[in-house]
Every structure is written in C-alpha cells, then in structure tokens.
Amino acid sequence: MTTHEVAAQLDRDDPLAAARKAFLLPPDTVYLDGNSLGALPASVPERVRRVVAEQWGEHLIGAWYEDGWWDAPLRVGDRLGRLLGAAPGQTVAGDSTSVQLFNALTAAARLRPGRDILLMDDAGFPTDRYLAASVARMLGLELREAPVSGFEEALADCGERLAVVTASAVDFRTGELWDLARLTAATHREGGVVVWDVSHAVGAVPLAVDRDGVDFAVGCGYKFLSGGPGAPAFGYAARRHHDHLDQPLTGWNGHTDPFAMTPDYRPAEGIARCRIGTPAILSLLALDAALDVFDGVDLRQLRRKSLSLSRFFIACVDEHLAGRGFELVTPRRDERRGSQLTLGHPEAARLMAALVERGITGDVRPPNLLRFGLNGLYVSHADVLTTVLALRSLT
C-alpha cells in the first residue's frame, strides 16, 4: 500500500476517531502543538459561560458553597488523580506548576533531614532547573545534575547524602519517556524521595503513581489535558507522607480551619493541606470541563493510538525525508517515546514558520528542534502524513 493508503486504513480502524468531535478545531488545520497548548474542548465555552453568568452572576459569593467552588481544588484534583493512577484524596488542583514544584521539592527535602543532595535532570525544563536551584540555596542543599539516563549511577554516588531526586517524566525537547517505576525504586533504595514533573505525560501516557511508589508529582493542566492557556496545575502527594508534609507556602486555604482567621498556621488533614491560596475559579472550572473528554476513554487505548501515530510518523520520515537534513531525535523504541515526535534540522525555525503558513502547527525549540505533539484524541494519521509531505516540499 502507498503511504496515503496506510494512513487512510489506520484512521478507518481508529477506535478513538470520534473523539475529535469533542474538540473545536479550525477547519483545514493540522494541530500538532497540543504538547504546549491543547486544543479547545467543545464543552468548555458553555460551561465557562454558565459559571460566569449563572454562578458568579446570580449566586455571587454564595457560589462558593451553592456551586461547590470551595471544594473544587479537591474535586478536580481527584479527577486528575485518576489520570495519574492515584487513589482519591492525594491530588489537589490549583496554582501554577512552578508553585506546585517549589512546594513539592521543599516538602520532599524536609522529609529527609540530615541529607543534603538534590539531584536533578541536567537537561530538564528550564523552570524546573531554576526552582531546584532556588530550593537548594534556600535549604542549604548541594544541587547535582546528571542525565536521566545516568540517574542510577548518580544516585549511587550520592549515597546516604541523597535527599531528593527530580526530573520530568518526558523530556520536553526529545519526547523521550523515562521509566518512572524503575527510577523511583532506585531512588528509594538510596533513601531518597522523588518528585516527578508529569506535565508532558499526563493525559497522554498511562501513569501509575500509586503502584510505582511515587512520592510527589506535579504537572500543568494546559497541554494534553486541554485546560486552556495558563490552566491550573496540580500536585500529587502519596498518602503515606500527608501527616509529615511541611510546605514552605502555607496559605489560608490549606489551614485546618481557614475561616477561624487564627494567627498561627495549623495544616488541614490529608491532601487539603497542599491547598495554598484562593483558587482561580474560572480557570479551574474550565479545566474541570476539559477533563470531560477523558470520561469513558481507556488510557491504554489512547496510548496505543499515540504510539501508532508516532510509528507512522517515523515510517513517513524514513520514506519521504531521507537525505533532506532531518534527524530523528525521539527514540524509535515504543516504550521510550511519550506522545511527541521531535526532528532535528539546521533550518528548523524557517521550516516551522512555513508549516504554520500552510495551516500546520508545531513548534521549535533551540537550537534546531521541530516538535510535534501527537494527541491521540484529535490527531489523525492523515495529519501526520500531511505534515511530512509538507516538510518534503519545503526541503
């Protein structure tokens, strides 16, 4: 079969093909940047309209209880927890990924008094690296960096000084997926606590944070979760740590009796102590509406779809782009890929600008990387082929 015939067959056999209708995508658009900002779910505009016009507009301050605003961080947190493989009562939604990561890193380090090494990915997302460095300075820790591929050796070198290990579950540049279970277990063998940033994995890769013994996880709501620009983030803390969590940001929403307005801080029970300030309700409830697209979706099936898309992408690159200056950066092995395909090319910026002019959206990361997000809920194999053939015509 020709590549076009293969794409058509794969899309005909796609059990998630109907999911595309749950998103408001512009016609004649190939959107492969959902790993940066997810497409708009069709349920969000009307839900937000009702929150503004009916809940805020009619119920005013009463909406905090009449419409469940006060409990939304925990309610939405549990919905997110299902995508993390977390039992209820361990995930809270709100604030930004930066805030969640700062709190998690600090709380994790405080669980290991007397240990003074914070180990992080040497190619991690810049904000994660900035925050890890800040936490290390604040707590007097030694910040060490190593490639995730070399974490197990680096962990052994830290020995009994190891306090915290942090990295992203999926490399934001290359799309490489790491073995969270193995690296978490390796961290625990050395007595450390692990904090995973799952921003580029949640909603695209089945996660099992409870099963894998993960201590903390944080992530954003606006990539594969399609919660909208600047959507609230979330934090997961394993139940076994709740009674000992000592966070640096102790806002009034995390107080055991927030309306008592006492001068001293007393943390709430369970994951509620990980709440901080007043939640951004409009954004939080937009994220809640966006999560409806996952109702009834088997994440294993979604994973099979994204792997099918990336396998087909790689096959098309091999067939149509050989000898044109492209380098496949994302690993070829299925188990090593997230839901992103990255190509290297010396003219990456020019090529992406030309793709965008043709209605094909991906993005660029320095120095020469073309990134394509493969959200199995709305990306098709035909989209992939269209993108590769456009790249061929541009080179």
pLDDT digit string (tens) for 220-246?
A: 999 999 999 999 999 999 999 999 999
Contact 391, 351 (CB under 8 A): yes
SS3 call for 24: coil
Domains of the chain in sequence order = 3-31+298-394 (3.90.1150.10), 47-294 (3.40.640.10)
Tokens found for residue 292? 């409806």
Marked catalytic residue, from 23, 31, 102, 222: 222
Q: What is the pLDDT of residue 233?
A: 98
Q: How many CB atoms lie within 10 A of CB 328?
A: 16
Q: How many CB atoms lie within 10 A of CB 390?
A: 18
Marked catalytic residue, from 125, 224, 312, 372: 125
Q: What is the C-alpha separation between 341 and 36, in angstroms, rounded?
A: 13
Marked catalytic residue, from 95, 121, 171, 197: 197
Q: What is the pLDDT of residue 1?
A: 84
What contacts 142, CB < 8 A, 6 or more positions away?
Answer: 116, 117, 118, 136, 161
Active site residue 125: yes
Active site residue 222: yes
pTM above 0.85, yes or no: yes
Marked catalytic residue, from 223, 275, 305, 337: 223
Marked catalytic residue, from 79, 112, 173, 371: 371
Show the low-confidence residues of the chain (pLDDT under 50): none
